Structure 1
Amino acid sequence: MTPEPPRNRDDGGTMAPRQFEIDGSTMTDIASFYAQMNRLLMDGESWALAESLDALNDVLYGGYGAIAGREPVRFVWKDIAATRAALGREATCAFLRERLKTRTMFNGSPIVDQLAALESGLGTTYFDVVMQVFADHPNIEIVPA
C-alpha cells in the first residue's frame, strides 16, 4: 500500500495522522514482516530496510522513506494476531539460533538465556520487541483492526 496523499487538518487544527495499513495475514515469518515494512515505508527509496530491529527503529524516526519526521502516524494493523503468531516463539527461537551461530567470537550467553526462556514458555518474542520499537515513538499509534 502506498502512503496516503497529503492530509487535511483535523477539527482541532492539528495535522491528521498519516495512515498506513499493515496486513498481518500476509506475514509468515520475520522476513515477510520486513518485506511489508519496506513496501509501506520505503516506497521511492533506492534501498531497502535490512531485517533489523535497529533499522525498523530508525525508519520510524522518519526523515527518509514515507515518514517525514515526527509527524503523527497511525498504523492500522489488520489481523495483528496473525503477526503475533508469525513473529512468535517459534520464529524467535529460529532467529536466535541463527544469531548464535555468528556469535562464536563474542559472548553468546545472553542469546542462550533468551532461548532457554522462550523454550520454557517464557521470554520475549520478536513480536513483543517489534511492538516495543513502535511504542518507543510517541508520534506513532497502532490501531489493531
Structure 2
Amino acid sequence: MPVFHYLGCRILRMQQKQFIIEGSRINTITDFYTEINRLFMAGEDWKLGNSLDGFNDLLHGGFGAIAGEEAIVLVWKDIAHSKAALGVDATRKYYEEKLLPDSPFNQRHFKEKLTELNMGGGQTYFDILMEIIADHPNIRIVTA
C-alpha cells in the first residue's frame, strides 16, 4: 500500500476496487441482478439469484469479486434510469409475485408493503437497494 508523507503526517492511501454499474442496462429487477452478476460474479461458476438477501450477502464479501470489507467504489452510470426502472411499478410487481397462491413468503408482510406502496408511501426496490448498500460503510456510490 503506498505511503505518503505530508507535513510530518503519514497518510496511507487505501486501495479501492471500483465497479461500474451500467444503469442503462437495468430495466427490470432481473436486469439489475444480471448486471450485478456481470460485475461481481464473473469468475464464479454460479450466479446470484434475484434476492435482496443474496445481494446483501454479496456486499459482505467472501465470494465473487469482493474479498471482505475492502474499500469498494460503485460508479453507477445512468442512475436516474435505474431508479425509474426499479421504481413503483417494478416494486408493485415484485410484491404481487410474493403474494401469489402457494407462495412461501410472509404474506402479511408483503401485503403491508404493497398497501404502503399503493398509498404513495413505502420504499421502492431501488430505495431498498440503496439502503442495503448504505449498510456497508466500506462501499461508496459515485454517480456518473
* Same fold, TM-score > 0.5, yes or no: yes
Amino acid at match of 1:92: T
**Which residue pairs with 2:136 in the alignment?**
137
After superposition, residues 19-34 of structure 1 pair within 5 angstroms as 19-34=18-33
The separation in 1 between residues aligned to 2:50 and 2:103, in whole angstroms, is: 21
**Higher strand share goes to which structure?**
2
CA root-mean-square deviation: 1.7
Structure 1: where are the runs of 5+ without partners? 1-7
Amino acid at match of 1:42: M
**Which residue pairs with 2:34 in the alignment?**
35
Among all aligned residue pairs of Structure 1 and Structure 2, give the percentage whose two residues are the same amino acid: 47
1:103 deviates by 5.7
The separation in 1 between residues aligned to 2:142 and 2:30, in whole angstroms, is: 22
TM-score by length of 1: 0.88
CA contact (8 A) 1:10 1:16 kept: no
The separation in 2 between residues aligned to 1:76 and 1:87, in whole angstroms, is: 18
The separation in 2 between residues aligned to 1:136 and 1:102, in whole angstroms, is: 33
The separation in 1 between residues aligned to 2:116 and 2:104, in whole angstroms, is: 23
Structure 2 vs 1, CA of residues 33 and 106 (structure 1 numbering), >3 Å: closer, same or farther?
closer
CA contact (8 A) 2:95 2:114 kept: yes
| Segment of structure 1 superposing worse, 115-124 or 77-86 | 115-124
Deviations 1:34-89 (A, max 9, x none): 00000000011000001000110111111111011111000001111111111100
Amino acid at match of 2:119: S
Structure 2 vs 1, CA of residues 105 and 23 (structure 1 numbering), >3 Å: closer, same or farther?
closer
1:130 deviates by 0.4
**Which residue pairs with 2:77 in the alignment?**
78
Q: Highest Rg: 1 or 2?
A: 2
The separation in 2 between residues aligned to 1:30 and 1:105, in whole angstroms, is: 20
**Which residue pairs with 1:115 in the alignment?**
114
After superposition, residues 35-74 of structure 1 pair within 5 angstroms as 35-74=34-73
Structure 2 vs 1, CA of residues 41 and 107 (structure 1 numbering), >3 Å: closer, same or farther?
closer
CA contact (8 A) 2:71 2:139 kept: yes
CA contact (8 A) 2:133 2:139 kept: yes
1:16 deviates by 2.3
The number of equivalent residue pairs is 138
